[in-house]
A and B are shown apart, each in its own frame.
Chain A
Amino acid sequence: MESRRDFLKTAATGALVLGSQRKLGLAATLDQHAQTGKSKVVMARDASLHGTGAQPDEKRVLDLLDRAIAAYTGHDNPVEAWKHILRADKVIGLKVNGLGGKGVSTHLSLILAICERLQQAGIKPGNIVIWDRNARDLVSCGLTISTDPSRIRCYGNDVAGYEEQPVTWGATSVKLARILSRECDMVIGLPILKDHSMSGVTFAMKNMYGVVERPQELHPGGCNPGVADLNCIPAVRDKVRFTIGDAMTSVYDGGPGFHPERLWQPNALIVGEDRVAVDHTAWQMLERKRAEMGLPTFEAAGRPPRYIATAADAAHRLGTNDPQRIHLMEV
């Protein structure tokens, strides 16, 4: 049973979260479980997503997205659901991940589906910025570079540049991408689920390595505490409020590059506000696949994703990695 002290602590945290969300562009807290101390994560699947082709079916991707957002927000109408996520006057960044090359980058069909719903929810095209490290990564996602302010914008840090002054959190000091620090009010992370040769798993939090100038400096120690520290930097912590994780295609071993011999189609989206809970859920998904394929656990392989626990610890408090405090909805 929850004590009065726990209740007050939870309620106070909820009020703080609500306050910052309104200021930053998130229309309201979406996760009704947040104030009960649980983080909601939605895993939406469609076994027929890919059909017989290498690419997922665009119509089914849109349907899958709608199902995930409806389950998360509790609103069946997808446009209404998005209106509860966003405020129309804000600039929304979509941080994709194209580092793995054409075979294992955030799917274009997902990016386009989100852009369609954002516009239907009242976001002006010019207030949507799709971005990643550079043009090469964006092209890998199937995108075309555009800086035209009257259209959906799409360009990398190679165009917009980085802040001159580094920001520091814990042991981590980085120069942030200006797209994050200056242009976006709110960012939706669109990572793609992959094995990672150093950190074990790369998904929601690790995707933020694409918002700093020299991400390679955050790799030591299996990216721990680099990933957690980076996500604690105020611009990252406060602006990156929501993850729509692409687990439609994944690499379960040999990542983060494209290894077609270890490619896998989980046909899923993993959605949530709690980036730690999202990463924990994705990690468990990869562990199950590796076990099925006869591969060792990440721990046995010498690359456990320790940054997930670090992100949840008392110093970072980015979310929860406790399965008892994660409300996982599979739809």
Chain B
Amino acid sequence: MKYCLNWKWAVAALVMVAAVAGTGCKKKGADPFPASGAVADWQKSSETRVFAAKDLWQYIDGDAEQYISAGVVSTSTSDYKYKGELEATADVYTMGDATGARKILESGQSSDAKAVQLGDAGVAYAQSVIFRKGSHLVRIVAYESGPDAQQALLALAHGVEAKL
């Protein structure tokens, strides 16, 4: 009986260790957003929100379908402010594999896209930056244009990339 109890405690402890380790791994993947000040002049202005694939429509409605067909697993999003003025939103779509991230990045480009060195591949526009890294597809958009908006977005994008 004593041995039986010890054995059960050992299994429970192993399960707890595994759970903590698992949570740790998930945490890094679940919140890929730099904290306020981690990237110069950028403040994180909202909580991180996470949507499972089945709930993605709540966030982006009809846009969800293209991500679901590309194998999205979850989506994390957070708002930011640059120097207290320029508002932006960063989305990280975690796909089942890198193919899905590549599919989305390549399907959405227009002729004025400028290739940038970010993750495995990336493009920038005046008010947005999109890149992929492994199974992640990252999209950061600013709600206004400005002379330093693109450079600021690229800096934030590098901050996100470093956390993936």
Contact = CB atoms under 8 A, between A and B. Distances in A.
Interface of A: 54, 99, 101-103, 196-199, 202, 209, 215-216, 219, 223, 253-262
Interface residues of B, number: 23
Interface stretch (B3-11, B23-31, B54-62): B54-62
Contacts of B142: 260
A176 B89 CA distance: 31
A197 B63 contact: yes
- Chain A binding surface SS class: loop
Contact of A254 (B57, B65, B108): B108
Interface in B91-118: 108, 110, 112-113
Most buried by A among B61, B64, B110, B125: B61
- Chain B binding surface SS class: mixed
A41 to B, nearest CB: 24
Contacts of A262: 110
Nearest to B89: A101
B128 A215 contact: no
B141 A258 contact: yes
B87 A197 contact: no
Nearest to B66: A197
Nearest to A254: B108
Nearest to B57: A216
B87 A219 contact: no
Contacts of B108: 254, 259
Interface string B68-87: 00000000000000000001
B126 interface: yes
A202 B61 CA distance: 12
A40 B66 CA distance: 36
Contacts of B143: 54, 101-103, 258, 260
5 contacts: A54-B145, A197-B62, A258-B141, A260-B126, A260-B141
A261 B66 contact: no
